Amino acid sequence: MKSSSVAQLGIVAADPLRSVGLLAILEDIPNLSAQAMDWDTAFENDELAAMLIDVRLSVSDLIETIHRLRRERPERKIIAMGVALAANHVQAVIGAGAKGYLAETASEAEIRMAVEVVLDGSVWAPRKVLAQLIDAGGVQSIAADSIAKKMTPRESEVLHLLMEGKSNRDIADSLKIDEVTVKAHLGRMLRKTGASNRVELTLRSLDELSGASKGAKK
C-alpha cells in the first residue's frame, strides 16, 4: 500500500513511446507515482493529484478539454504539453485552468521541474507568460521593497539556486540539507516577500536582478 504522501500523476499521451519516455524522466522524483493511462481511465481515477496531458490538440480543443477536466475534477492539477505556443495562447490555456504548459521540446530537467512546481501548488509557464499573468492580476505581485534585502544569508543561497532553475532536491543537495528544510526556507521566503508561490518569487527576483544590472551600467 502506497503512503498517503505519495502524489499520483496520470500521463495521457498520444504516442505510447512518449509515455514511456515521460515515465522514465519522472521516475526518480521523490513521493511521486506516475502512471501511463488512457483518457477514460484518467477521468475516472479518483486518486490522481495531477495529470500530464501530452496530446496533439488545437488550442481551442485543448482549452475545451481542460474546461471539462476542471468541471469533473476541480481538485486535479493539470499540466498540458504540446507544440510551442505563442504567449497569448499559453496564457489562455493557463486561464482555462491548467497549472502548467510545457513545449514538447522541453528538456528532462524542465519537465521534472514543472511537475514538482505544479504539485507544490505553483504555476509553470514561460517567463513572459508568468509576467503577463502577474500584470493581469492572475498571480499576486510582491511588494516593491527589495527582495534580496529581506533574505537571510541562507535564504539568499536558496534564492540564487531557485533563479538557476533548481528543484527542491537539487537545492538540498547543493546546500547539504534535507528537502524538508528547503521547504521551510521557501515558506518563510514567501511570507517575507508576499509572493503567492515559488515561481512568482523567482520571476520577481530575476526581474530585480536584471533591473539592478541595468542600473549599474548607466
Q: Right CATH number for 7-135 from 3.40.50.2300, 3.30.230.10, 3.30.110.30, 3.40.50.300? A: 3.40.50.2300
The answer to which of 25-29, 61-65, 114-118, 139-143 has the lowest mean pLDDT is 139-143
147-217 shares the fold of 7-135? no
Domain boundaries, the chain: 7-135, 147-217
Give the pLDDT band (50/70/90) at residue 199: confident
Please, which pLDDT band fits residue 176 given cuts at 50, 70 and 90? very high
Q: Is the dihedral of CA 91, 93, 98, 100 positive or negative?
A: negative
- Say which residue the cell 540539507 belongs to: 177
Summarised one tens digit per residue, pLDDT across range 106-133 is: 888 889 888 988 887 778 877 667 666 6
Query: What are the distances in angstroms from CA 162 to CA 96, 150, 169?
Result: 27, 16, 11
Radius of gyration of the chain (CA): 18
pLDDT band at 38; cut points 50, 70, 90: very high
What phi, psi does 53 have (nearest 5°)? -100, 110
Q: What pLDDT does residue 143 have?
A: 40
pLDDT of residue 215: 54
Structure pTM?
0.66
Tell me how far CA of residue 49 lies from CA of 7, 33, 34, 73, 169, in angstroms.
6, 10, 10, 10, 20
Cell of 67: 474546461
pLDDT class for 135, splitting at 50, 70, 90?
low
How far is the C-alpha of 124 from the C-alpha of 4, rounded, in Å? Answer: 25
**Stretch 29-36: mean pLDDT, rounded?**
90
pLDDT at 168: 85
CATH architecture of 147-217: Orthogonal Bundle (1.10)
